[in-house]
Chain A
Amino acid sequence: MNALLEVENLSKQFGGLRAVQALSFEVREGTILGLIGPNGAGKTTVFNLLNGVFAPDEGQVRFRGADITGLAPFRVARHGLARTNQIVQPFANMTVLENCVVGACFGRENLPLARAREAAREAVTLVGLEDRLDALASQLTIAGKKRLELARALAARPTLLLLDEVLAGLNPVEIERMIGIIRTIRDSGISILMIEHLMQAIMSLSDRIVVLNSGAKLAEGLPAEVAADPMVIGAYLGDPGFVDKLRES
């Protein structure tokens, strides 16, 4: 399997805060890479560096062999790298379909309007919003808006999808459904890089996991390896036997 996204030595500093430090990892074609870590570890900043919201101070981002380091967000989108936002940002006064047409029109394939509408419909159906096609985005529930974020990104027919906490704020039934959707997307050939706090979900979905702490990579490996890593347990997961150990001492 080839590397689709290669991140090398990425660093970003905000004033005195070193948000991301010399981070390297890669996403291989057709896989899901999970990005986890405590709050403030720099996960969303990594996304912002990848798709050009911020330019990195150091390091390089290569996507399908092309150097996309520091390109403006709209140029990154054209390369086939789509993203959902942690805090949903729908075009509130547009319908669900129109929201997705924007994604399809200006994404990787740069489709003309009529064909963009077809791509948008497909994406809406994939996330299960087809019965709300003509509803205004502002009328959707939070779960609906999260699915719209996903549909809008998918409508662009990306090669790589960055998912920033798409499961946060959903109830167990909705989470189940969203996990199914994410699997379907991966099976359709789109690679995924996802940030998630919900351990059970990310452990079962990811092919590999990268753990961030204070902006630096703490561990990387298969989900089971990472979950058993004492450093990860100490920094993020917490030790389930911690209370017993205290009692013993």
Chain B
Amino acid sequence: MILRRPFFWIIAAIVAAFAIAPAIGDNIELRESLVLAAVYITLASNINMILGYAGYVNFGSIVFFGLGGYFSVWLMSAHAWPLAAALVAGGVAVSALALVFGLGILRLRGVYFALSTIGVNEGVMAFVANFGPWGGSTGIYLSPALFQPLGGPAKALWVIYYLLVGIMGLSLVLSYAVKRSKFGLGLLAIGQNEDAAALLGVPTPRYKAIVYSLSAFLPAIAGGLYFFKSAYIQPPDAFDLQLSTETIVVAMLGGQGTVAGPALGAFLYEELRGWLLTSPTFSHFQLVVAGVLLLAIVLFAPGGLMGLLYRLWPRLRSFLE
């Protein structure tokens, strides 16, 4: 059982640390920094299932986050759905849409697939920007009254934070459970050599579509929480290609294909970004730093941080997945 594996308890410890650290002394500044870290970890862990396991570069993964945000925010503002129902509905709707998109674009491989994922994101953004019920290019603004059921804005922010940490924890568990499963083995085989995998009986079209759809679910819910927290949503924020690219950088920085790597990469990158943004020298260059990091990883450490750690301490492999 998954509960008996040491790595499961490492995940539990990470989630506990996220939950407890800002609660000590009501540290709101720390909480706001960890909110972003939790979002990055969620996005990176989920993209890792398609990027790291199945070997498909999804440049447009942010479309799940943005669409999830739109669905949830719209259900809450226009139809007065409670938060939990709106989040789950958003996740389910986006996963279903991803399955439809996936069955189409996953026939493509390599560069062509990567390009088509950008197309999906840009296409959806253009559609939403012209979609009346979702406010077109001005987006949707939430009434502050919507925070009342959660005990007012101040308390609501804590609730949202804990829900996001929960989604982050679920992302890690999902990523781990998939990796240890037969489904995960099939994905890894596809990632290494898709033709050989198909010859051995791996149902490649179905597996790819499922993982594309699965990797949409939790990011969509995270999007719902994130934009509920912001209390407004607009197309350029929801479908931000820059964040999409950063997600890939983060997963590769940590070590694509491992479970811990994307989380580690996401956390370090978010902390680094926070520092760069507040530093007077670097605040305008934070993307340059991201670019240099990506180059350095591709050139010198294709296995990312986890690859380096494994090389230094091979015994880590036995419990840090």
Contacts and interface: CB of A to CB of B under 8 A. Distances in A.
A54 interface: no
A106 B193 contact: no
A94 interface: yes
A148 to B, nearest CB: 11
B196 A85 contact: yes
Given A74-B202, A106-B201, A98 B185 contact: yes
A13 interface: no
A113 interface: yes
B192 interface: yes
Contact of B198 (A74, A90, A108): A74
B192 A107 contact: no
B204 interface: yes
Contacts of A153: 200
Contacts of A90: 193, 196
A5 interface: no
A106 B202 contact: yes
**Interface residues of B, dominant DSSP:** helix
Q: How large is the interface on B (under 10, 10 to 19, 20 to 34, 35 or more residues)?
A: 10 to 19
Q: Which of A72, A94, A102, A152 has the most CB of B within 10 A?
A: A102
A91 B192 contact: yes
B195 A89 contact: yes
Contacts, number: 73
Contact of A156 (B182, B189, B201): B201
B181 to A, nearest CB: 7
Interface string B189-216: 1001101111111111100000000000
Interface residues of A, number: 31
B199 A85 contact: yes
B201 A72 contact: no
A98 to B, nearest CB: 7
Interface of B: 181-182, 185-186, 188-189, 192-193, 195-205
Interface of A: 51, 53, 72-74, 77-78, 82-83, 85, 89-94, 98, 101-103, 105-108, 110, 112-113, 116, 152-153, 156
Given A72-B198, A107-B201, A108-B201, 19 more contacts: A73-B195, A73-B198, A83-B199, A89-B196, A91-B192, A91-B193, A94-B192, A101-B185, A102-B185, A102-B189, A102-B200, A102-B202, A105-B185, A105-B186, A106-B186, A106-B200, A106-B203, A113-B181, A156-B201
